Structure 1
Amino acid sequence: MAAGRDETWEAVTQPAVLRQWFGWDYDGLDAEIQQIFVDQATFLAPEQMGWADGSYLEVTGDDDHATVRVIREGSGSAGTERFDAIEEGWRAFLVQLRFLFDRRPAGRRRTLYLTGETTGRQALALVEGGGEWQRSGPRVAWAVDGDGHLVVVAGRLPLDDRDAGRMEVTVSAYGLDDAAFETLRETWTKRWAPAAADADVTTAADSAPES
């Protein structure tokens, strides 16, 4: 992270900052953040928190840079390719945290959360005018589009797989007023609808989507 240890620790413990990178917008996001990071979290050591399942998050580093690690129990088989929703979720969320520190965008974060059945290749073709895709494991990729929005794609199947599977695309935009955000929503809805079966778009006005 392009931030010191103390600032990074604040970002993973303070709900107001968590709201700027964790998850995606829906009407229950604030309650989810409260549950995960406040009600259910136990502070194990300086800059380390844990949960009842044995997983924990730690922040290490110095005044200029920090590393965030989330440690969870493995399957016991080296090299396994089984899908783990929690693991892939953390991969996607920590990409969003790193973007927050790298770009330090101004204004409130607002997101679009796109779901549907498609291939990784089709999902990755949605970004226009941006940088190259970066990978975080076989199922998660991210890029910044031409307007500076972060786009994170996460799949139930590896993104290089030729078969279609459930894909989740989170578009993070900062500082947009209602009119600009509505334009963004319409643009992405038009892109997503023909690219995915059972395409859906979730925003803050919606309830939690089914996983």
Structure 2
Amino acid sequence: MTEPEIVIETTIAAVPERVWRALRDPALIRRWHGWEYEVPGGLDDEIREIYIDGADADAEALTLTFQGGDRFTLRPAAEGTVVRITRPAKGSHPEWDDWYEDVTEGWTTFLQQLKFALERHDLAERHTLYLDGPTSGATAMELLGVAAITGPPGSAYTALVATGDALSGTVWFRAPKQLGLTVDALGPGLLILAIQPQNEQRPGGGAQIILSGYGRGAEEFESLADRWTHWWETRESPGTCC
């Protein structure tokens, strides 16, 4: 028996043509999608595989249909553009079932990255940091020390996190397994923390942290990234917040 399809939706304060271009131009996609990583081809190859070679685009209808049946639909609204991602029900493509929850969480993350990059930075260049791995039950929010941030989107927060950094900003979004925070000191930047689903590779689940920074030089961001990576690899004690 298949499960109901999943719909992920948000409104972006930009005209549909601007959002559509951000979904079709690889040079713009890399300014919001995912994160940089050090393998041959890296992010650029991933973007081409997902959004160009692996998608059918209908510019007139403003729809983008991906391999496996996932579909982006754009429609104009008074506030800008409603972007809806519709996922086929789990079981409709059995070859993807083991990673179904991961893909759902990934689309949730990417949609918020797109919204943030368009609304707050007009698709400016950025620097990124990605941390993930299996955990023994602690969430990314607990590990970093921001689990006590419970306010709704738009509410302010301050936190002295486990890396030793004092962060401040606002809650950008909340999802059942994700928390997005703006980070004033990074331009503002966007910090997304996610609970990774359980699977054969992660029987106890996992934690994921994605940090995007704007307006800082590469060396300055690299220094921050080194500090956060050291913390992640040594799993220092959680910080405090609020």
Tell me which protein shows more strand as a share of its residues.
2
The higher radius of gyration belongs to 2
2:213 to 165, 173, 184: 173
**C-alpha distance in structure 2 between counterparts of 1:63 and 1:10, whole Å:** 19
CA shift for structure 1 position 111: 0.6
Contact kept? 1:154, 1:169, Cα under 8 Å: yes
2:143 to 122, 129, 132: 122
1:135–1:183 Cα change, 3 Å: same
Contact kept? 1:117, 1:164, Cα under 8 Å: yes
5+ unaligned residues in a row in structure 2: which ranges? 1-11, 92-98, 147-160, 237-242
Note if 1:141 corresponds to 2:161: no
1:140–1:84 Cα change, 3 Å: same
- Aligned-pair identity (%): 29
**C-alpha distance in structure 2 between counterparts of 1:109 and 1:133, whole Å:** 20
TM-score by length of 1: 0.77
Contact kept? 1:49, 1:57, Cα under 8 Å: yes
| Other-structure match for 1:51 | 66
Note if 1:18 corresponds to 2:29: yes
CA shift for structure 1 position 128: 3.5
Contact kept? 1:154, 1:168, Cα under 8 Å: yes
Contact kept? 2:127, 2:218, Cα under 8 Å: no
Aligned length: 187
**C-alpha distance in structure 2 between counterparts of 1:22 and 1:49, whole Å:** 15
| Aligned Cα root-mean-square deviation (Å) | 2.7
CA shift for structure 1 position 40: 1.7
Contact kept? 2:117, 2:123, Cα under 8 Å: no
Compare 176-185 and 20-29 and name the one that shifted more: 176-185
Deviations 1:69-109 (A, max 9, x none): 11111238xxxxx9611110000111111111221168421
1:102 to 114, 119, 124: 119
**C-alpha distance in structure 2 between counterparts of 1:31 and 1:12, whole Å:** 15
Alignment of 1:194-209 (within 5 A): 194-195=234-235
5+ unaligned residues in a row in structure 1: which ranges? 77-81, 197-211
SS class of match (2:111): helix
**C-alpha distance in structure 2 between counterparts of 1:35 and 1:165, whole Å:** 27
| Other-structure match for 1:200 | none
Contact kept? 1:128, 1:145, Cα under 8 Å: no
**C-alpha distance in structure 2 between counterparts of 1:64 and 1:156, whole Å:** 32
Q: Give 1:195's aligned amino acid.
A: R
Deviations 1:54-75 (A, max 9, x none): 2211111158601111111123
Q: Give 2:217's aligned amino acid.
A: D
SS class of match (1:175): coil
Q: Give 1:117's aligned amino acid.
A: P
Deviations 1:160-192 (A, max 9, x none): xxx963111110012332321222212312432
